[in-house]
Chain A
Amino acid sequence: MILKEKSNCFLHPDDIKSFEFGDVRENAVENGRLIKEAFKGSFDIKVKKGYCAGKCVVFANCDGLCNSAKIADNAMRPLLSYKGELPEENALDFMCDHLLCSTEQSKETDLGKAVDMLLRGSLLIFVEGSKNCVVFGVQAIPERSITEPDTDVQEFGSREGFTENIKTNLTLIRKRLCTPNFTIEIQEQGKESKTRLLLCYMKGRVDEDLLNAVKKRLENLDFDTVLGAGYLRKTLDTKRLSFFTMVGQTERPDTFAAKICEGRIGILIDGTPFALIVPRLFIENFQTLDDYINRPYYATFMRIVRFLAFLISVFLPGIFVSIGLFHQEMLPDDMLYNIVVMESNTLFTLTLEALIIHFVYETVREAGLRMPKSIGHAVSIVGALVIGDAAVTAGLIGAPMLIIVALTAICSLVSSDLYQPISVLRIVFIIIGGFTGLYGIMIGAAALLISLASMTDYSVPFLSPFSPYKKYLLRDSLVRISMEKLGKNIFDINTIKLKNKK
């Protein structure tokens, strides 16, 4: 109710009225006037009138999104300097076929749609007496150059990462998948932002049910603006309350292409370098593209290391707290003695100590992420020396706990995609371990595993191939056998799809 009340500070949704353009008018000047009126006050919308062989021609474009030199060389100069004669009928077609020079040009009768294209960097050309306008591709949208992604680093893989430009991203994938089976479907999402999405899949490999399910979910999307991958994630994920997600995210075109070849669906979103992939399995959090370049024994070893790092980062602080408080008998006497001596000088209980240090760690991490890079070193020094060393010396926290937190922090960064669930679950298990010991932790772990097992999206179980057990697929799970033995198709998501729906 509060939202619906009109306020002086905010624009009420009812006040936003969309401008009705209708069809392209035969009067070229009128079209230009309508566009000017719709964007009243927007200095970047340029409308220019000229004459081509005596016929009035109006050009409209959005400054900053277009290449001015291309407009001048390929559109304005050929038209305005044309001295010949124009046919009485189909003057616009004549211009398109004989005068304008571009591979990207189309005709549009709907002025609203033409204006949408104008906002995407196209030049609109209206010709007197024609009910069509030419949409002329002269886009030069400012973009970042292709760089190595920060969030998805590979040792031996490609150094290319997605950018914010959807066309560049598509080119990066096309470069890797030179096959007509690679299919792209374009969609627009967001009533106001009209963000373009590209639904990418491999014809013949993608499951029709999966494709339809993804399309249906995207159709149900109801946002005014779609400014990032996160907006779509909510819709593509069924189990929204879970710590984990079955929607993958990548900044790497090589990973994206590989997943599409496995029968999955990729979604490129204009304006973000993060592409989405559905469905994603739990085991994929421990797999990287480097694994397929490294020797099988090393790839297997690293996958196991990553999985153990995940377990350590979630459970170690909780287990340490529970052993320290409830199950001291598990440790050898010497070790127990050392821990007791060091912890006896501290002010807080083990549980509180663990929670405080984790809170401090997460704060330092968040500060490191958000603050200007120029003062990053200062935060590192404060974090490492003041909070770490000085807190132990002052007797605020024990050295063993600091070691545990440091180890946990490092381990949690091994699988960057799992950082969010790890950081919250770790706190949960510290609290459970502090109150109920190892037994409580095991009940929590059982609940977590059963909840993971309950995750099934697009008929694909999250814990596959472990449960439901698929022996054939285990060869590329935590273990990776040689590429020769993996065969022609490395992995196919359709093989783990549940077929016995009720």
Chain B
Amino acid sequence: MEKTKVSTPQFFSLLYLSVLSSIFMYISSPEITISGTDSLLRPVVFIAVSIVSALPLLFVYKKLGQNETNYKKLYESKFGKITAVIYSVVYLLGIVRTTARFDLFASSELFPGAEMTLFIIGLVAVCAALSLLGLESLTRAGVIFTFIVVCATGFVMLSLWDEISVLNFTPLFQDGAGRFFSDSILFSLQASEIGVLLTVLPQIKGNLKKGFVWWAILSGATFIAVLFFVVGTLGAFADTQLFPTYTAVTLAKFGLLQRMDALETAIWILCVVEKIALYFFVVKKNLKILFPKVKKSTLCLVQALSVCAVLVFVSGNLERFSFISYTPIVVGMYVVPVILLPVSVLFYLKKVKKSEKSPQQS
């Protein structure tokens, strides 16, 4: 395939799908409840957190622009290689977390009691292979997937309209504003995919800032819509469900179709495939910085095998799964790639600039 840059809307449609997969397979926990009307306001905090936390990334973008040579210089330095190692680890963990969550979803909701490990390994293999087709392929397909997913979700959600009960909408801030903010921030930190930007920046063309703000707003709006239907149909019952969004969807029916959960879940899988393939692509790109002579296919194979090895260990074991979903790990997976690494890149760039200036002055 001829290599070209991807446009900002194409790239952010891919990130949008990635974020949607998180909300669709959202796991309710004692830390973050979903039942109250408060949860409808969480996406507003999500938008604010996303925009504020992405500022370092946007500063890096401002400094380096879209010039590939600037990034090449960065990657070739020792610092760049350390960054690549950290990114690889974080996003490999991201792949494991996403697939393990899907594994839990499949074995608890889709085919209860069934052994899903082989299915999940198949999914990992497909996504690893797809990542080899490049970011451009993923983003192009992402635009079409976004259209399909939005239409299907809109249709399913609207068919839930009759199931909504006004009584399920509780007064705001019942548990206090503090709880609301802590829940909202934890909720926002699920979207660690923004961090991939630093790796793929040289491949994107167009107005990144505008695209990013639109992505945050549209993702927030979609969250509000989905949560509206989840809260409206399930109420407090949502907190007792492992996957509340899925439970809400099981109530949807339209004409001939008695239940649309299978159909909707099938559509959600498009989001999961795109998210995992994107992560594989990002890890592959970082590994290529570390091992420039190794073939891309070999790197992907190594990634897929290591992810599968961990998945076999995690699959079907709720304790091990809860370890990788442990709040500090979730927070770390957001803070490291989205805030810490871009900030350190900014410091590094400043240092390099200083050292370039000082010999000239002397």
Interface residues of A (CB under 8 A from B): 238-239, 323, 326-327, 329-333, 335, 436-443, 445-447, 449-456, 459, 461, 463, 466-469, 498, 500-502
Query: Does B294 touch A at the CB level, under 8 Å?
Result: no
Assess whether B5 is in contact with A500, with CB atoms less than 8 Å apart: yes
Query: Does B257 touch A at the CB level, under 8 Å?
Result: yes
Stretch of B26-34, B134-142, B330-338 with 4 or more beta carbons under 8 angstroms from chain A: B134-142
Contact of A447 among B2, B3, B273 (CB under 8 A): B273
**Chain B residues positioned under 8 Å from A331 (CB to CB):** 256, 258
27 contacts between A and B (CB under 8 A): A323-B262, A326-B111, A327-B262, A436-B122, A437-B111, A437-B262, A439-B265, A440-B119, A442-B270, A446-B126, A446-B145, A446-B270, A446-B274, A447-B126, A449-B141, A451-B130, A453-B136, A454-B137, A456-B2, A461-B140, A463-B140, A467-B10, A467-B144, A468-B7, A468-B140, A469-B9, A502-B5
**Chain B residues positioned under 8 Å from A447 (CB to CB):** 126, 129-130, 273
Whole-angstrom CA separation of A194 from B260 in the bound complex:
60
Contact A459 to B2, CB < 8 A, known contacts A447-B126, A466-B144, A468-B140: yes
**Chain A residues positioned under 8 Å from B81 (CB to CB):** none
CB distance from B114 to the nearest CB of A (A): 10
Assess whether B133 is in contact with A454, with CB atoms less than 8 Å apart: yes
Whole-angstrom CA separation of A16 from B159 in the bound complex:
74
**Chain B residues positioned under 8 Å from A459 (CB to CB):** 2
CB distance from A462 to the nearest CB of B (A): 9
Query: Does B207 touch A at the CB level, under 8 Å?
Result: no
Whole-angstrom CA separation of A501 from B3 in the bound complex:
6
Whole-angstrom CA separation of A459 from B68 in the bound complex:
21
Assess whether A439 is in contact with B144, with CB atoms less than 8 Å apart: no
Q: How many A-B residue pairs have CB under 8 A?
A: 122
Whole-angstrom CA separation of A469 from B273 in the bound complex:
21
Whole-angstrom CA separation of A453 from B273 in the bound complex:
15
Assess whether B262 is in contact with A449, with CB atoms less than 8 Å apart: no
Chain B interface SS verdict (over half): helix
Who on chain A is nearest to B134 by CB? A454
Assess whether A450 is in contact with B277, with CB atoms less than 8 Å apart: yes
Mark each residue of chain B from 1 to 20: 1 if its CB lies under 8 Å from any CB of chain A, else 0: 11111010110000000000
Contact of B273 among A441, A446, A468 (CB under 8 A): A446
Most buried by B among A327, A441, A501: A327
Whole-angstrom CA separation of A455 from B134 in the bound complex:
11
Assess whether A467 is in contact with B269, with CB atoms less than 8 Å apart: no
**Chain A residues positioned under 8 Å from B150 (CB to CB):** none
Whole-angstrom CA separation of A335 from B256 in the bound complex:
10
Query: Does B263 touch A at the CB level, under 8 Å?
Result: yes
- Could you list 12 further interchain pairs (A-B, Cβ under 8 angstroms) beyond the known A238-B1, A450-B277, A453-B140? A330-B258, A330-B262, A438-B266, A440-B122, A442-B269, A443-B123, A450-B141, A461-B140, A463-B140, A466-B144, A467-B144, A502-B5
Query: Does B339 touch A at the CB level, under 8 Å?
Result: no
Whole-angstrom CA separation of A456 from B110 in the bound complex:
37
Contact A498 to B2, CB < 8 A, known contacts A439-B269, A443-B126, A467-B144: yes
Whole-angstrom CA separation of A437 from B274 in the bound complex:
19
CB distance from B274 to the nearest CB of A (A): 7
Interface residues of B (CB under 8 A from A): 1-5, 7, 9-10, 68, 106, 110-111, 119, 122-123, 126, 129-130, 133-134, 136-138, 140-141, 143-145, 205, 256-260, 262-263, 265-267, 269-270, 273-274, 277
**Chain B residues positioned under 8 Å from A468 (CB to CB):** 7, 10, 140, 143
Assess whether B270 is in contact with A501, with CB atoms less than 8 Å apart: no
Contact of A330 among B259, B269, B270 (CB under 8 A): B259
Who on chain A is nearest to B2 by CB? A456
Whole-angstrom CA separation of A122 from B359 in the bound complex:
80
**Chain B residues positioned under 8 Å from A446 (CB to CB):** 126, 130, 141, 145, 269-270, 273-274
Contact A449 to B259, CB < 8 A, known contacts A326-B111, A500-B205, A502-B3: no
Who on chain A is nearest to B9 by CB? A469
Assess whether B1 is in contact with A455, with CB atoms less than 8 Å apart: yes
Most buried by B among A437, A441, A447, A450: A450
Assess whether A439 is in contact with B140, with CB atoms less than 8 Å apart: no
Assess whether A450 is in contact with B138, with CB atoms less than 8 Å apart: yes
**Chain B residues positioned under 8 Å from A443 (CB to CB):** 122-123, 126, 269, 273
CB distance from B116 to the nearest CB of A (A): 10
CB distance from B285 to the nearest CB of A (A): 15
Whole-angstrom CA separation of A459 from B1 in the bound complex:
9
CB distance from A469 to the nearest CB of B (A): 6
CB distance from A184 to the nearest CB of B (A): 28
Assess whether A502 is in contact with B4, with CB atoms less than 8 Å apart: yes
Whole-angstrom CA separation of A394 from B143 in the bound complex:
49
Contact of A441 among B3, B256, B266 (CB under 8 A): B266
**Chain B residues positioned under 8 Å from A463 (CB to CB):** 140, 144
Whole-angstrom CA separation of A498 from B141 in the bound complex:
16
**Chain A residues positioned under 8 Å from B2 (CB to CB):** 456, 459, 498, 501
Contact of A438 among B138, B256, B263, B277 (CB under 8 A): B263
